[in-house]
Each structure stands twice: as C-alpha cells, then as structure tokens.
Amino acid sequence: MIQLKAGTIIAFAQKLVSKNNGELAEAGFEWCKKEVNVSENKKSKSFMEMFRMDEAKLTSDQNKKVEVLLNKFSKCISLSDNDVRKTSTLSHSIKLTRDIAIKQPIRRINGELAEEVEIQLQQLCNDGIIRPSNSPWSSCIVPVKKRCGGLRLAIDYRLLNNLTVKDSFPLPNLNDATSQGYYNVPMDEDSIPLTAFSTSRSHWEFIRMPFGLCNAGATFQRLMNLVLRGFSWICYIDDGLILGSTFE
C-alpha cells in the first residue's frame, strides 16, 4: 500500500477538443480546482454507502426511509474536516479573572514540518476558521503527527485557561473530543484576540471555537442541549442518541 500526503499531485487533466475529422486533439494543460463542489461530491457516492447502512440490521423499507431522510438533510452532513458550517445558536466567549495579555515565546518548528504547518494554517484561513491577527496575546502552536501521516495542529492554551473564569455548565467526563466539531461554534468578537497564536512566520487568531480552551467543551455541550431540546435524547459532546418506541 502506498500512502500519499494530503495535497499531493498525482495527475494532470488535459482538455480535449474535437477536430473536423472527428478525432480528439489536446487543447493544452489546465490546472483543475483543488476544491470539490460539495453537492457534486455528495452525488458521486450515496449517503447509504458513506454510512455503511448495508451493515445495519434494517428492512428494505426502513433502509429506503433512511435514504430519503439523509438526502433531504444532505446540507447538514459534513464530508470532510474542511466542510464545517457555523451555528447561529450561540457563540463562545472568554471571561478573564485578570486582563493581562500573555505572550509566550515562539516554539521553533524547522524544515518540512514548518512548511506543512503554514500550508494547513492557510487552509484554515481559507475555510473561515482563523484569520491573520495583530493581537498582543500569543499562545504556542504544537503540531502533532497523526498515525495516518497527517498533521494535527494544537494550541497550548494552558496559560490563557489559568486566567479564564470557568464555566459551571454540567459536562460529562471526557478525555478527548473532536476538534473539527468545535469549529461549528463562532467565537465572540471580543474574545477572538485572546485566541491568538504564533509561528515563526505568522500570527493568527481563531474566529471559530478552537480545541484546547477550558470552557470549549461546556459551550459545545450547551449547544447540543439547545439543538436537541424537545426530544427524548441522551447527548455526550458530539454524539447524540434519540430515544423512541418505534423506528420512525
């Protein structure tokens, strides 16, 4: 098995035109967009395949109802880490015990890893997750290599968390949570500068709620409670179990 890094170019697309004699001729090279149209991508592979519904113990009639439901709410389904919507239900605010800007020394990242970090940060900026910053605050970025070969960017917010008034909203005991799910929650405008972080080349701040803030889990749990209120449910961070006596 050959593993390729994200963004690796594996082929070039050429546009072909028809000549008068019916043969095809090359019309030159053309770069294809890296972004894939979400609606077209969703059509290329059915949701039933994506969710492996063939492994579920459902009747053919029940499978059909699930397929209709998934297609009806297709805009609610995320297809990748970059396919993240923004909720209008709430935003995340950081309240401080002392308003003293913290600026941590930059942790040097060298070589190819530094280049990967900047590429991923630019992608987050393109996706509307972060933006360039001029904040006096600055936390350290900590890149972590995933087992699959990808890169996970974490921010060391421990000093900021020490100055943060803790949220008393009840939260299940958890050891880990998905950072991409947090990106659905916008940051309160006044709190955005507090999330600033730096590399040796750039200075950024989050406009969506990042993983690592001490109250982020409570905010996300509050969001889930608001979204699912009125239903009989059990919710644990980004996992929800809807209870009912029938399949419907």
Tell me the pLDDT tens digit for each residue of 14-64.
Answer: 555 555 555 545 444 444 444 444 444 444 457 778 778 778 888 888 888
pTM, rounded to two decimals: 0.63
Answer yes or no: is 57 within a domain: yes
| Dist CA 119 CA 5 (whole Å) | 12
Number of structural domains in the chain: 1
| Dist CA 72 CA 53 (whole Å) | 17
Domain that holds residue 45: 34-80
> For the segment 102-136, what is each residue's pLDDT rounded down to a tens digit?
999 998 888 888 999 999 999 999 999 999 999 99
| Dist CA 18 CA 35 (whole Å) | 28
How far CA 13 is from CA of 23, 30, 36, 48, in Å, comes to 18, 7, 15, 30
Answer yes or no: is 72 within a domain: yes
Answer yes or no: is 55 within a domain: yes
